[in-house]
Structure 1
Amino acid sequence: MEPRTGEDDGVVRVWYDEEGWGVVDCLSTPGGCWTHFSVIEADGFRSLTPGAQVRVRWESPGQDGYDYRAEWARAV
């Protein structure tokens, strides 16, 4: 099966600053999209805030038990 990709707006469900990752919920990524700090488009310390709206470019298969993984993310 070939990986699928897409882009969508979502909301940060949870973010772990100390571990550098979290989960973004989008309509196109049921179950959540695993997101690493290294894919966040931002200056300085890259982090997301739970409840914040973000834009993500995602791919599947995902990572660490999630069906989707972010390739790129930024706050909107």
Structure 2
Amino acid sequence: MKFYKADKGWGAIMCPELPTDVWVHLSVIDGSGFREFAAGDVVDFDVEEAEQDSFHFRATRAAFVRHGAAPELRRVDGQVVVVEPGTPDTPLLRRRMDDASRDTDPS
């Protein structure tokens, strides 16, 4: 799981075989009673191509497999992306450009 908003009952599943994340709603989670996932959970799911909010794929069934490490997320150009742990919030290229401008500033 990339993330899951329990208060809203939906989340996003990362899938390397698909070009974008998969939208998942609590109504398709296997089980009874209160059902939810946590960021990092490994899930088994079926998917269909469908427009749901900004997603292009929607899960039609989802089941918990095991807990995993929660991914580190950042917002980049309006998209939520997974980054390697310890990645700075400011892109390195921008930081280099800012450092370079300070080095040449005559004041």
Task: Give TM class, smaller chain.
Answer: 0.7 to 0.9
Shift of 1:35: 0.2
| 15-24 vs 39-48, which moves further | 39-48
Q: Distance in 1 between matches of 2:53 and 2:17?
A: 18
For structure 1, the residue ranges without an aligned partner over 5 or more in a row are 1-11
Tell me the SS of whatever aligns to 1:50.
coil
Which one of 19, 26, 47 corresponds to residue 30 of structure 1?
Answer: 19
Instruction: Calculate the aligned-residue CA RMSD, in Å.
Output: 1.0
Which one of 1, 5, 10 corresponds to residue 16 of structure 1?
Answer: 5
Q: Does 1:65 align with 2:54?
A: yes
Q: Distance in 1 between matches of 2:62 and 2:4?
A: 13
Larger radius of gyration: 2
Greater than 2 Å deviation, 4+ residue runs: none
Cα deviations across residues 16-51 of structure 1 (Å, max 9, x unaligned)? 011000000012222200000000002321101100
Q: Which has the higher contact order (CA 8 A, sep 6+)?
A: 1
Give the strand-richer structure, 1 or 2: 1
Q: Distance in 1 between matches of 2:19 and 2:44?
A: 15
How many residue pairs get matched?
65
Q: What letter corresponds to residue 74 of structure 1 in structure 2?
A: A
- Say if 1:33 and 1:62, in contact at 8 Å, map to a contact too: no
Give the helix-richer structure, 1 or 2: 2
